[in-house]
Chains A and B, each alone.
Chain A
């Protein structure tokens, strides 16, 4: 739960809980005694609460905090409750607004109702009545809970309308076999969305197999995808069924499809047309029943124009395009994500949950996040690890984000990072089998072990993942 008390331009934010169940209520009143009282009441009922002292601040917070319901006083300086109600409903006609007034004047109540007010309560407000009206109108609006409690995309954290729209599209296509194409920059969560679609589909009890087409050497990608017969090529000591067959009945997620070599694109197109795969070295095709979800961080339409990607395959894959927005395009999600990953860190470490100071939060929300959610997770982990007190200051956030950005800019570090991510991908692919991993990487076992040691990677960790 997040409680924010805003007094003028100064924001004091206290975070006490992020459990994925809370609805966010914005309270607008120029009387600070009312704000703290209502905050106390609603906090005890597990609501997220944001409070502001003026209509102007309320409008600013609506776009940032994206409340599920607004409670506002009628009589306030500058912008009164009626003007605020009109403006809120001009921007968001479905947002429930409960109006409070110290004077039970029928004309006011009638006018508020005409303007779309959900309820009109007289001050002093009865606690039970206020909570009852809030629950009732949240229920009627259909947003009594945030996305996090919904079954689709359990691991996808958002409150922005851009992500809400994407999730609705994802839900809509999940219940079927239609081919989905996900685009988005690195770190935006393409595989998580693909997995959410799989988990919400009738194939959810069958395998979900992900493969990064850019992480496997060109000469091995064909046999990894389609399988091979024993002796099909040098080193093919046994039969290998391939990822298409492994995903039979389920979903095959082809990540970074734009990196697939042109000659393999032809073979993939044939599989998508016939739903049969022919393992390398085999004369027989094997029927497969696989749903395809593909993804890329590159502009595939542009790649088609430049001749790097086959147009026929592009159209075969791009049946339902889903575009994941960059983190910087949905700043209203950043605080929620920071909260979520701080809580995850605390649970993982068995430590009290830490919190970013208001200044650090402002800085992080305004940052550009070139590495998207993956970068945000790294920053949270770094700050939570290094900061010895429970409140993470601005300086620590700046250092963590600065370090992240310098990592992205330094060629040496970028190469190191790529090598590590490549090794992890290969180990995930082979489920920690060093011999197979070394073969894919084009290294002998000794060299491969040296690489693993250099990156502090333990193959057994990947065997554990496979069994989990």
Chain B
């Protein structure tokens, strides 16, 4: 699969790996929540992603976070699954360039 190049602030170089790792954890938690029907938790995670992604340089994560938040608010499992899959794909392909 093609890499997605993202330019990030060099000052954040030490924080970015941790941020990406936290999204991996979010994916696992959201998948568990989908099984238990915990839409409130999914909404909270989506809200956090929306609020933090752009600050780190990942506008896509902000967009996906917003979609997840809205889908969770509507208890729309299909849309949540689709957005989580897109998130999983994105963070597996993203390659950060610090400049």
Contact = CB atoms under 8 A, between A and B. Distances in A.
A33 B19 CA distance: 7
Contacts of B37: none
B51 to A, nearest CB: 4
Interface residues of A, number: 16
B46 to A, nearest CB: 9
A139 interface: no
Interface in B20-73: 22, 47-48, 50-56, 62, 69
Contacts of B54: 123-124
A416 interface: no
Contacts of A100: 51
A127 interface: yes
A36 interface: yes
Given A33-B19, A36-B15, A40-B11, A75 B52 contact: no
Q: Secondary structure of the B side of the interface?
A: helix
Contact of B52 (A33, A40, A44, A127): A33
A34 B50 contact: no
A237 interface: no
Contacts of A123: 50-52, 54-55
A37 interface: yes
A31 interface: yes
Nearest to B14: A40
A31 B50 CA distance: 11
Interface string A217-233: 00000000000000000
A125 interface: yes
A37 B48 contact: no
Contacts of B11: 40-41, 44
A292 B42 CA distance: 70
A75 B12 CA distance: 25
Contacts of B12: 37, 40
Contacts of A36: 15, 18
Contact of A125 (B9, B15, B18, B55): B55
A34 B15 contact: no
Nearest to A33: B52
Nearest to B61: A124
Interface of A: 31, 33-34, 36-37, 40-41, 44, 73, 75, 100, 102, 123-125, 127
Interface of B: 9, 11-12, 15, 18-19, 22, 47-48, 50-56, 62, 69
8 contacts: A33-B19, A33-B52, A34-B48, A40-B12, A102-B50, A102-B51, A123-B55, A124-B54
Given A34-B48, A34-B51, A34-B52, 13 more contacts: A31-B52, A33-B19, A33-B52, A37-B56, A100-B51, A102-B51, A102-B69, A123-B55, A124-B50, A124-B52, A124-B53, A124-B55, A124-B62
